[in-house]
Amino acid sequence: MGINGLLVVDKPQDWTSMDVCAKLRGVFGEKRVGHGGTLDPLATGVLPVFVGRATRAADLVAAGEKEYLASLRLGLTTNTQDVTGETLETKTVPADAEARLRAVLPRFTGPIQQVPPMYSAIKKEGKKLYELARKGVEVERAARRVTVSALDLTGRTEEGDFLLRVVCSKGTYIRTLCHDMGQALGCGGAMSQLRRVRVGRFGIEDAVSLDCLVSAADPRVYLRGVDSCFDAPKVTVQGLALKRALCGNPFPLKAPAGEWRVYDPAGQFLLLGRSDGQECRVVKSFYEVERP
């Protein structure tokens, strides 16, 4: 049988998310490896990585809520909106910066409109924005609606950067948040550090380092079942319902309306489904016929 499952990786700094996937393809000898939510090279922390048929869950996990710990450096504006970029402007940080920063936090909390940065993987007419940015080209980007459900100022670093805790929806750019807050204060701002501490159900306490995975005698011990991604209740099906489920068709299921994790009598996780109380439709199937 092929290798399948989920890894919660603590992504190291200076690695891209795809670098991590490429490394783990070699570790597991499996071509199908993908991640659930990109982290910039500067960032560290929780990166869900999916192996084998578990890659089918990547988009569902990437859509979940995320939590970050970020550092904001005021007085600096860069072309990438973080400290790795080219400096565009420096300004004096006001003496009352902390009080002013606290005062603007509510403006960036809740549903907000955010213009994606040029240095991002978003595509414009088939070209990734960062590819255009590297050529000195800037194009107009439409603002996107994102939700910041929590934004707290938690302290300062020895260098004077402000520490922020952010809980947000998919598609939120933390470096853009830092940039926009700096603009609101009139002195500019850039993200100096970023650590993702939660993606959906998985926190940093669940994560394993890349070094540990690479050096493990058997890295498969760190794999989790893909069903652990979901908090829906479990149900076992058999007979006609099982046959229809295995074909990806709606199947009879007298159960409360909502999402269900569906298993066969042997305990194999088959799919995530959504029931209307009488019938269940497949949201995402994880059943796969093993080929010799």
Name the nearest CA neighbour of 43 among 88, 87, 81.
81
Residue 150, SS3 per DSSP: strand
Q: What is the 3-state secondary structure (H, E, C) of 128-148?
A: EHHHHHHCCCCCCCCCEEEEE
Rounded Cα distance, 126 and 195, in Å:
30
State how far the alpha carbon of 174 is from the alpha carbons of 67, 116, 215, in Å. 10, 10, 32
**Structure tokens given for 142:** 């439409």
Name the nearest CA neighbour of 51 among 26, 20, 30.
30
To which H or E segment does residue 211 belong?
Answer: helix 210-215
Just list the catalytic residues: 40
Residue 131, SS3 per DSSP: helix
* Look-up of token digits 């590819």: 131
Contacts of 139 (CB under 8 A, 6+ apart): 118, 124, 129, 132
Contact assessment for residue 234 and residue 267, using Cβ atoms and an 8 Å cutoff: no
**Structure tokens given for 291:** 């080929």
